[in-house]
Amino acid sequence: MRRMNLVIVMAVFTLCNCLVSLLICYHYPEFIPRVRMLLALTSRDHENTSEDIIASVQKGAINSVIQSSAGKHSKQEAFLLNRNIPTPTTRRNERLPQMLQQTHNSSGQLFLNKSRFDAVLGEGGLENRFPPRRPYQSEFQQVDVRIFIYSAIYEKTHSSVRTLILVPEPFNPVSFVCVLKRTRSHVGYWVQGHFRHISLSRWGTYNNRCGFVHCPVPHGSYPEFISVLTARMSSPLNILPVNYPGPPYNRLTRCYHAMHGNFTDVNTLVTALETNRYFGTDKFLIYNYSIPEDVNKVLLHYEREGIVEMRNWKLPFPPDQIHYWGQMASIHDCVFSQLGVAKYVLLADVDEIVVPKKDISLADLADRLLNTKKPNSKNMYGALMFPNADFPIHENETKIEFPEKEDAKKFKMHAFLHTDRSYINNPRDKAKILVKPEVVDLLHVHNMKKFLPGWAMYVVSPEVALMHHYRTSKKTQTYHPLRQDSTFIKFSNSLIPKIKDRLLHLQSKLEVNI
C-alpha cells in the first residue's frame, strides 16, 4: 500500500513538471525577452548616458496592458485601469494589443550594445530620412496608473524624442520604456527613457505635476510614432505621432495658457490678437480646455486664416488637481514645439500686451538685443524679460482725448481707455519672457528656470518696452498710488480702425455678440 502511494506521488510530480515545461515552452518567445529587458532596466537605471540604449523586438502574443492582482492597487487605481470611456483615444487604446502583434522577422533578442542597435535600426526598421513637418498632433493618453502622456517632439540636436507627461505628486520616478515605431502597427524597438521633473508651481500644492521622458534615438533613424510605458507593464496603452520641426516660418510665436469657460470676452480677445499682430506676432498657440461658444467661433475663424493654432487640452483629471489648468505643462509644450519652427516665442496672457516704446516690432527688438554678449561673461543673451505694470480697468476712464475714443468706448477696447498704472513690478516676480526656443532647458511662468549652457537673460528697460497687464481685480490697495502712462494711445490711430473692422466682420459673419 505504501509503495502504491509513493508511485502515485511520483506520477503526480512528473505530470506537474511536464505541464510547467509545456507552459514555459509555449510562452518562451515572449517571457524571456521581457525578463531580460526588465533586468537590464533595473541594473542600468542609474546611468544617464547615450550608452543606456536598450532595444527589444518583442516576439509572441502581447498580454493585457497592466497585470494587476486583487489588493495590489487601490480602488481608485483599479477604476483608472479598468475604466471604459467611449472616446476616440480609448477606442484606439483598446485596439493596441492587436496593433502591436508580432512580425515574423522579429528576432526577440535584447541589444545592449549601441553599435549593434544602430545596425538593427538601419536595416529598414525605422525611417532613415528626416520627415517633413506636419500639423502638430498631441492628446492626453494613459501611460500607467495616474501617469498621462500628451506630446512627442523630436529634438535634432540631441537625437531624441521629448515626451511631455503628467505624473502624481509626490512621485518617485520609475523606469520608463519608449517604443520607437515606424508605423502604428509596427512592433517597434524598445529603448530606456529618462525621466525629468518640471519645476513645481510656487503657488500651492497639487495632486499632479508635469515632467518629461526623454527617449534616445540613434543618429540617422526617425520614428514616426512612439509609445511610452513603465517597466512593470507588458505593452503600452498609448501611441503618439512624433512631431518633427520644419524650416522656421514664424519670426514670433505667442503662447497662451489653457483657456477655459471663465473667459467670455470676445472684444478683449480680438483686441489682444489684432494688437499683438500689429506688434509682430505671426502665430498664436492656444490650449483649449473649455472655451465658450462665441470665443470658440472667433478662434476657429482665426485658425482658418492660419493666425491661430488651437490644441486640445482636455486634462485627464479635474483642473483643480494641477496648478492653473496645467500651465507649467502647456508653456513647455508650446515652447519646445516651436524648435525649428519659430525664431522667437513670447509667453504672456490674453490680458497682457508688451508695448514697445521705440521699435514697433517685438521681433525687430529681439533681433537688436539678443545674440549679443553679456558684459563680463562668456554667455550670449538668449531671452528677453519684460517688466510688468498693472493697469486696473475698473478705475475711471482716461481724460486724454483722441480721435478714435468713441469707437474705443463703443467696442469696449479697455486698453485704450485706461492709462493709470501701478508701479513697475519687480522684473523677477511678475515679468513675462520672450525666448529663443533652442536655448531653453526649463521654464517658469515669469522667468527662465534654467538656460542651456552659454546663454543668459536680458532684462529690458521700461524705457524700451513695458508689459501692460489690464487687470479686472478691484483690490485697489495693490495698485495705488497710480501713475499716468499714455504710451499705448499713440497707437490708437493705427489699431482702433483695424480692431473695429474685425469685430464688425466677425459679428456679421459668425453672429457673435460684441
Tell me the pLDDT tens digit for each residue of 274-300.
999 999 999 999 999 999 999 999 999
- In sequence order, the 6+-apart residues with CB closer than 8 A to the CB of 112 are 40, 54
How far is CA 256 from each of CA 94, 260, 285, 431, rounded to the nearest angstrom? 33, 12, 6, 15
Q: Rounded to an integer, what distance in angstroms lies between the CA atom of residue 52 and that of residue 180?
A: 15
Q: Is the pLDDT of residue 121 over 50?
A: no
pLDDT at 2: 58
Mean pLDDT of 225-251: 93
- HEC string of 151-165? EEEEECCCCEEEEEE
Question: Which grid cell is 20?
Answer: 510547467
Residue 151 has pLDDT above 50, yes or no: yes
pLDDT at 59 over 50: no
**Pairing relation of β-strands 380-386 and 440-443?**
unpaired
421: which 3 cell numbers? Answer: 498704472
End-to-end CA distance of the chain: 99
C-alpha span between 32 and 240 (Å, rounded):
27
Count the Cβ atoms, other than its own, within 10 Å of residue 469. Answer: 20
Kind and range of the H or E run holding 311: strand 308-312
Element (H, E) at 414: helix 414-417
pLDDT band at 19 (very low <50, low <70, confident <90, very high): low
Please tell me which residue, 190 or 7, carries the higher pLDDT value: 190
* Residue 479 pLDDT level (bands cut at 50, 70, 90): confident
C-alpha cell, 217: 534615438
Which range in 54-63, 108-117, 254-263, 493-502 is most confidently predicted, on average pLDDT?
493-502
Q: Which CATH class is domain 250-510?
A: alpha beta
The three-class DSSP label of residue 388 is strand
* Pairwise CA distance, residues 347 & 257, whole Å: 9
Query: How confident is the model over 25-37, as a mean pLDDT?
Result: 47
Which candidate, 168, 263, 153, places its Cα nearest to that of 209?
A: 168
> Using one digit for the tens of pLDDT, what is the confidence trace for 296-330?
999 999 999 999 999 999 999 999 999 999 999 99
259 close to 288: Cβ distance less than 8 angstroms = yes
CA torsion 320-145-91-98 (nearest 10°) is 160
Q: Given pLDDT bands bounded at 50, 70 and 90, which one contains residue 41?
A: very low
Residue-wise pLDDT for 404-460, tens only, equals 999 999 999 999 999 999 999 887 778 999 999 999 999 998 899 999 999 999 999
* Predicted confidence band of residue 242 (pLDDT cuts 50, 70, 90): very high
Calculate the average pLDDT of the chain: 81
- Rounded to an integer, what is the distance from CA 181 to the centroid of its chain? 21
pLDDT for the residue numbered 371: 83
pLDDT tens across 331-383, in order? 999 999 999 999 999 999 999 999 998 878 999 999 999 988 999 999 999 99
Q: What is the pLDDT of residue 110?
A: 33
Give the mean model confidence (pLDDT) for residues 456-478: 88
Task: Tell me the C-alpha to C-alpha distance, in Å, between residue 258 and each of 178, 265, 310, 319, 331.
Answer: 28, 15, 10, 10, 9
Q: Give residue-wise pLDDT tens across range 338-349.
A: 999 999 999 999
The C-alpha atoms of residue 323 and residue 293 are separated, in whole angstroms, by 25
Asked whether residue 32 carries a pLDDT value surpassing 70, the answer given is no
pLDDT band at 201 (very low <50, low <70, confident <90, very high): confident
Cβ of 258: how many Cβ atoms within 10 Å?
21
Distances (CA, A) of 130 to 44, 75, 110, 145, 196: 30, 45, 26, 34, 26
- Region 175-204: mean pLDDT is 91
Share above pLDDT 90 across residues of the chain, in percent, rounded to a whole number = 61
pLDDT score recorded for residue 127: 83
Bridge partners of residue 465, in order along the sequence: 356
**Where exactly are the structural domains of the chain?**
50-241, 250-510
CA-atom Rg of the chain in angstroms: 28
pLDDT reading at 10 higher than 90: no
Checking if the pLDDT of 182 tops 70, the result is yes
Query: Residue 193: which of 220, 158, 228 has the closest Cα?
Result: 228
Q: Report d(CA 146, CA 211) in Å as an integer.
A: 13
The pLDDT score that the predictor gives to residue 6 is 66
DSSP 8-class letter at 49: S
Q: Is residue 250 within a helix (H) or strand (E), and if so which, with residue range? A: strand 250-259
